[in-house]
Amino acid sequence: MKKLLYISLLAVLLSAAISCNRSVDKRLVLADTLMWTRPDSTLAILSAINRDSLQGDENQAYYALLFTQAQFRCNGNCTSDTLINSALDFYSDNHNREHYTRSLLYKGSYFEERANPVEAIKWFKQAEDNADSTDYRNLAQINMRLGMLYFNNYATNNLDLNKFKMAAHYYEILNDKKMTMAALEYCGNVLRISDVNEAIKCYDKALLTAKELKDTTNIYSIDVNYALMYIEDSLYSQAKKYILEAYRLNNRFEENNNYYMLSLIYANQKDIDSAEYFISLPDKSQNTAYDSLLMYKALREIALCKNDIPQYRKFDKQYYRISDSLEHNETKYKLLDSEQGFDADRIASKGKKVNTLNKTIIILVALFLILALVTAALFIISRRKNRKDQQQMIDELKEESFGNYEELRSNLADFDNHFSKTMNERLKSLEEIMTGAYNPNQDSKSSEVVHKISPIADDDTKFWEGLYSYINIKHDGAMDKIANDYPQLSASDLNFIKLMCCGFSDAAIAVCRNYRNVASVRSRRRKIRDKMGIEGNLTDYISSITQG
């Protein structure tokens, strides 16, 4: 009797297993297998299926996931999140971890396509957290999507580079050459600002794969990125070689910024006709912020070639306005907060799953101690560096005499009261530091003195105009000569030079301008010298004008 019962039970289990196996619609399985090789066929198969005819919640959810994914694979757009929401609802309580990861991924993609990166990152991070460590396809996709979010929103801290490297790693495991090439190209795009040699390695590897695959679209893209890299390094001859190779591939450009790049190259080579021709081709109404940045950079160079100083200054102002808006893009900070916030939430969520109170306390205490130790270490390092930088500035100030400042003060009496008052405040504070106000054993005191001099704001027009007049009178029109001879200098550059004309040392300028250290002053001086195109030392050049 028992034997008969066991046989009956085994038969029921086998029947259930077969039934479950048959419950997944074969058309959906076929569509899924074609998703990465022939996504158009996947979409055609799914479009031919009447979703209402599918049996069971699993088939309904599977269809919803596949149809959403196929839409993104074919045209990168999904008109509604209704389908992906139904897949999420089903798989969140289901044991199919891979399908749930995919559902989270494409929910994030929905928000990404709607220009909501902050919401998108929340879903991508959940997908990353849920993915199995061997789920290389989804992990590659998640890292690629996260990298694109950070890159397109100018995020800092190398978040984009780390994600692109991980994506390339997973695509290499999958032997997906096309996507590996794409990830490497983006690695190059990030590195070209900070490490040109590493960027070239990434571009070379990506280009080799593109040529192996005979992928002219990506060869074109990589050539354009090579050109951008050389333009950012002011190597216009090399940039021209690559941008023209890209142009020959298509006999046209797909993006506005490519025309602006070519215009900028010709303007720097003094070929004004070619520069104006290429800058006239794009539809300006379709410009992105980055397109406009390159456009104004090219227009500025064209105006300089024509010696049209008013136009140069107009375009220079527009260029820096857009540059500043990109640099201080609020979205990138929100993305960083979301990344950190999700990681913090993830730790807290995992802590809640601990079964006993003792284990929970141990984990929280351990995390707190680690955080405290790291914070303490970073704080100590930061304080030591700040103390070293402050001491360096103060030592340099102490080496100076009071003579220069006394002479400067004696000449201020007949000048505008606002300018005189502001300058005297800075001289007085500098002298406090020089007379020994710094005490290495009293960090709060040293910090108070060093930062007592607030930075002279560039928008304090009255002060800078007074300083301009003072230098002209004292040094026989020195500022007029510099401003007229070098129209490419910005207002900020001229303000820096005014402090040099007054005899302020590097250390004094660093304190007055609230720079972190003297090295920042030297770096700024080199940039101004390069912009002016003069040989030798900028300080000597300024001295020759003021004393000549």
- Rounded-to-integer distance, Cα 388 and Cα 500, Å: 24
Percent of the chain whose predicted confidence (pLDDT) is above 90: 30
CB–CB of 127/105 below 8 Å? yes
pLDDT mean over 144-163: 81
Q: Tokens at residue 442, please?
A: 């009293």
pLDDT mean over 124-152: 91
State pLDDT tens for residues 156-177. 567 889 999 999 999 999 999 9
State pLDDT tens for residues 200-255. 999 999 999 999 999 998 999 899 999 989 988 888 899 999 988 888 887 777 78
- 29-34: long-range contacts, CB 8 A cutoff, minimum separation 24: 31/66, 31/70, 32/62, 32/66
Q: Is the pLDDT of residue 395 over 70?
A: no
Q: Is the pLDDT of residue 5 over 50?
A: no
Q: Is the pLDDT of residue 101 over 90?
A: yes
Q: What is the pLDDT of residue 34?
A: 93
What is the band of 16 on the pLDDT scale with cuts at 50, 70, 90? very low
Whose CA is closest to 505, among 386, 383, 392? 392
State pLDDT tens for residues 57-66. 999 999 999 9
Q: What is the DSSP letter of 416?
A: -
Rounded to the nearest integer, the mean pLDDT of the chain is 79
Higher pLDDT, 274 or 498: 274
Q: What is the pLDDT of residue 12?
A: 42
Tokens 């001099």 sit at which residue?
A: 453
CB–CB of 102/130 below 8 Å? no
Q: What is the pLDDT of residue 169?
A: 96
| CA distance readout (Å), 503 to 99, 350, 547 | 69, 61, 12
State pLDDT tens for residues 79-100. 788 899 999 999 988 779 999 9
Q: Is the pLDDT of residue 376 over 60?
A: yes
Q: Is the pLDDT of residue 123 over 70?
A: yes
CB–CB of 315/292 below 8 Å? no
- Rounded-to-integer distance, Cα 35 and Cα 102, Å: 13
Hey, how many other C-beta atoms are within 10 angstroms of the C-beta on 250?
12
Tokens 């720097």 sit at which residue?
A: 268
Q: What is the pLDDT of residue 18?
A: 43
Question: For residue 363, with 0-12 CB atoms within 10 Å meaning exposed, 13-18 middle and 19 or more buried, which class applies?
Answer: middle
Report the C-alpha dihedral over residues 370, 373, 374, 375, rounded to 10 degrees. 120
Q: What is the pLDDT of residue 158?
A: 76
pLDDT mean over 107-122: 88
- Rounded-to-integer distance, Cα 168 and Cα 186, Å: 10
CB–CB of 431/405 below 8 Å? yes
What is the band of 502 on the pLDDT scale with cuts at 50, 70, 90? confident
Q: What is the pLDDT of residue 463?
A: 72
What is the band of 154 on the pLDDT scale with cuts at 50, 70, 90? low
- Which value, in Å, is the radius of gyration of the alpha carbons in the chain? 32
Q: Is the pLDDT of residue 3 over 70?
A: no
Q: Tokens at residue 105, please?
A: 């991924």
Q: What is the pLDDT of residue 13?
A: 44
Q: Is the pLDDT of residue 440 over 50?
A: no
Q: What is the pLDDT of residue 172?
A: 95
State pLDDT tens for residues 23-45. 888 999 999 999 988 999 999 99
Q: What is the pLDDT of residue 438?
A: 41
Q: Tokens at residue 120, please?
A: 């998108």
Tokens 């007229």 sit at which residue?
A: 484
Hey, how many other C-beta atoms are within 10 angstroms of the C-beta on 299?
24
Q: Tokens at residue 472, please?
A: 């002209």
Q: Tokens at residue 302, please?
A: 């064209």
- Rounded-to-integer distance, Cα 87 and Cα 60, Å: 8
Report the C-alpha dihedral over residues 294, 298, 303, 307, rounded to 10 degrees. 120
pLDDT mean over 397-426: 60
Residue type for 143, please?
N
State pLDDT tens for residues 315-348. 999 888 888 776 665 555 555 555 555 555 554 4
Task: Find the length of the chain.
Answer: 548
What is the band of 402 on the pLDDT scale with cuts at 50, 70, 90? very low
CB–CB of 140/167 below 8 Å? yes
Output the CA angle 515-518-521, nearest 5 degrees.
70
What angle in degrees, to the nearest 10, is found between the helix axes of 117-130 and 330-352? Answer: 30
Q: Tokens at residue 243, please?
A: 């941008």
pTM: 0.55
